[in-house]
Amino acid sequence: MLNSETPFNRIALAGRRNSPELFGPLSVLADFLTRRGYQVSIEAETAAIAPLSGYPVITAEALGINHDLVVVLGGDGTMLSYARRLAPFDVPLVGINQGRLGFLTDIPQVYMEVLLGDILDGHFVEEKRSMLVANVLRESGGVTPSEVQALNDIVINRGSSGAVIDLSIAIDGQFAYSLRADGIIVATPTGSTAYALSAGGPIVAPMLPVFVLVPVAPHALTHRPIIIPETAELTIVVERGNDVSLHGDSQSQIPLMQGERVTIERSPHKATLLHPSRYDYFSMLRQKLHWTETPERLRVGLDEPLF
């Protein structure tokens, strides 16, 4: 959705942890926003890495309170972390890429002032990205103390022992199939270009209300990825395996025991991402993944500019 209004006043800056390159661009952005009249705050862990004098420091937990926009400097992993935290508050995020691919942090650092300025002037594309939430049901009947939220994917896989695991999958309470494999990926459209794509899953346009189930190294040739409605509730049972874990966006981990079950469904919250007005998802695929390019075009480097 292309927006032409600018609702921003209070802006927070957050960056990648342990990044020695953070101070320079953070300082430039803070000065740029201040000169334009915005109230600028710095997230606490970001401020510890790149201390800037004269700006209020706030905790990550307070980012969603009294802020109209959060600008994230880092890679997609950094963006995933802040997206999960801010989704319950419906605070939009803008990503400045300091990583590698930059599917979510899609503004190149070299153009950050120009493109961020356009967004602040109201010229942006807004996206609401669906998320997942998982709960582990213990054999005792207990539930994990906290839900696992994910913007990219929930992954259940084997550990370092190397033994394959057996899983059974039910969709909306109906048994769907059994799986012997290294694991299974439940991905959102956002996550379809991450681990799920590496495991042979399809690319799913982010506007589609679906999730994709992708087996990891299955032991049957007939096991293929399947796309299901995002309204479905999944129940995955660990039928066999003593070294199994659940991962959310590769940033949280819960050990699973044999016999335990995991429920996965659409989160009640969505991540809000803002892109420059010329943003186009399929152009992003062509540039970042060289999607649809023939070998001879790749050789001569005919990549199109993203913006």
The residues assigned a catalytic role are 76
Give phi and psi for 68, each to the nearest 5: -95, -15
In the chain, what are the helix, strand and coil shares in percent, each to the nearest 5? 25, 40, 40
How far apart (Å, rounded) are the C-alpha atoms in residues 188 and 152?
6
Count of helices and strands (H, E) across the chain: 7, 19
Contact between residue 164 and residue 180 where contact means Cβ atoms under 8 Å apart: yes
**Radius of gyration, alpha carbons of the chain:** 21
Helix (H, G, I), strand (E, B) or coil at 227: strand
Report the residue count for the chain.
307
How far apart (Å, rounded) are the C-alpha atoms in residues 224 and 212?
A: 11
